[in-house]
Structure 1
Amino acid sequence: MRSKMGSESEAMAEQNSMEALAKLEHRQTLILHRISNLELKYLPNLDSPPSSVPSDGADDDTVARLSAILRTNAVNDFSFKRVPSDYYDWALEARRDVLDAASIDHLCKSIVLVNTQAPSHVVDCSDRNNSKYYIVVVQYTAKFNAEAVKSFLYSLNDGKIAKKKFNLRLAPEETSVKLTGYEHNGVTCIGMKTDIPVILDEAIVKLNPDYFWLGGGEIDLKLGIRTSEFINFVKPFIIKCS
């Protein structure tokens, strides 16, 4: 009798153990499925990794042209990298990793602005202190402050131009392309068709290390550059605008 009861207890224990194991395997499957979904959502496609383009860019017209401009102007610490077409669908952390940037704060963008309230005689970029257009370089992690730029330009002109005559807004894409020669997400301050005055957010100047990334002239091309060399060449206005 005891032997029979013992066998039944062992069988029940074995069944409970099998059920527990099945539940554990089910949980593991769910966890792995969630991890897979997160990888697909936030990480680049490992089957098509971006290629790193040497800074001499011998086989690339854009890289070769911009590299020549940079070297001619004493900029030597820079690099170009190609990224996949879905780069802008990635989280900033994934973009940082593929560019080997120091942090997500080192990822920057160039925005073309138009002064919609400029006096009628201000139609181009001939006067950098009172230009119709400006190009602002800010971090992706920062929020651009147009009012800060407005106040800066008002002070830059010693208050001789009414503050209401400065109203910086994002330029239409077709205007940006016409002025810079670069498409959306490919805009860079180097080699533009028009010599647009550049405004650099001071937060970028304070980055450590002093090497940041921005558009490289094509949508899938990014340019990394030493901040000090960028400043010496471009000679931007440096203000707090984020």
Structure 2
Amino acid sequence: MEDLFSFNNDDYVKERLNELINQVSKLYSSKNIIAHYLDHFKRKAILTKLDDNAPESVKRVEKACNDFGIHNVSRFYHVESDYYNWELQRRAFRLIAPSINHLCKSVIFENTRCSHDSIDDPLNSRYYCVITQYVGSINTQKLLNFVRTLRHKQLSKKNYNFRVADEEKSIQLTGFESNGVSPIGMTFRIPIILTNAITELQPPVFYLGAGHIDWKLALPINSFIHATNCFIADLS
């Protein structure tokens, strides 16, 4: 097989790489492969132990996974320090993720018009942890509409205005810095909203921050939903 990287023609390399990506995507669409992938993923999760030298914030995520009863299906990855300088496809290859669609992030949103500062009521919290794909986006109007329906639209729209929370506030609430935010192991139990596109991924696993910019966490989607009792919404 020709070495893709031995050529100076960038267009040729990109074309061959795209062909490879498309072939992998088709491969993962097979039910037999999906079942095999999940079985392999879970076996690796059981066998893989977190490095003793992992940051304390990552160990906190691991403990939370244990408390949630999902430790045996959780996989941690220690990535290179320049990981976020890479293109999404290279990140997916690094994690052996099925596609770039499986790469996700957790973002803290604030309802700036909320009448209180509490997160105790998941139906009317000032803050929500929204999990979305890197290839996706969050429509704040849809987020507003969804959260408003949690209280059967008892409150007027004028009581809602969602924006990404200030980084300082996000760190205070989660205990995690930018690009390391994990929805598991947060300092405070912020209500979680999972974008529904994630639930449609095949194989049904997703990759998240693990408490530190250089660490990632992968989980079966259904295990995460069952453990966290998160909301699921169309926010794109």
- Give the letter aligned to residue 178 of structure 1: Q
Question: Partners in 1 of 2:49 and 2:161 — Cα distance?
Answer: 38
Q: Which residue of 2 aligns with 1:203?
A: 197
User: Alignment partner of 1:217: what SS?
Assistant: coil
Deviation at 1:57, TM superposition (A): 3.4
| Change in 2 beyond 3 A, CA 1:167/1:55 | farther
Deviation at 1:33, TM superposition (A): 4.5
Asked if 1:183 corresponds to 2:177, the answer is: yes
Q: Which residue of 2 aligns with 1:229?
A: 223
- Give the letter aligned to residue 220 of structure 1: D
Deviation at 1:90, TM superposition (A): 0.9
Share of identical aligned residues, percent?
37
> Of the candidates 84, 96, 99, which is equivalent to residue 95 of structure 2?
99
- Give the letter aligned to residue 119 of structure 2: C
Asked if 1:151 corresponds to 2:148, the answer is: no
Q: Which residue of 2 aligns with 1:13?
A: none
Deviation at 1:56, TM superposition (A): 3.5
Deviation at 1:210, TM superposition (A): 0.9
Deviation at 1:34, TM superposition (A): 5.2
Q: Which residue of 2 aligns with 1:68?
A: 63
Contact 1:55 1:78 (8 Å CA) reproduced: no
| Change in 2 beyond 3 A, CA 1:189/1:226 | same
Contact 1:200 1:237 (8 Å CA) reproduced: yes
Deviation at 1:63, TM superposition (A): 3.8
Q: Which residue of 1 aligns with 2:133?
A: 139
Q: Which residue of 2 aligns with 1:20?
A: none
Listed as ranges, the gaps of 5+ residues in structure 1 are 1-30, 43-52
Contact 2:63 2:185 (8 Å CA) reproduced: no
User: Alignment partner of 2:124: what SS?
Assistant: coil
Q: For residues 42-84 of structure 1, what are the alpha-carbon distances to aligned partners after superposition, in whole Å with 9 as ceiling and x for unaligned?
A: 9xxxxxxxxxx94433332344332232123221211111111
Deviation at 1:201, TM superposition (A): 0.4
Of structures 1 and 2, the one with the larger relative CO (CA 8 A, separation 6+) is 2
Deviation at 1:32, TM superposition (A): 4.2
Question: What value does the CA root-mean-square deviation take over the aligned residues?
Answer: 2.0
| Change in 2 beyond 3 A, CA 1:65/1:186 | same
Q: Which residue of 2 aligns with 1:239?
A: 233
User: Alignment partner of 2:114: what SS?
Assistant: coil
Calculate the TM-score normalised by the size of structure 2: 0.78
State which structure, 1 or 2, has the greater radius of gyration over its C-alpha atoms: 1
Contact 1:117 1:164 (8 Å CA) reproduced: yes
Q: Which residue of 2 aligns with 1:116?
A: 112
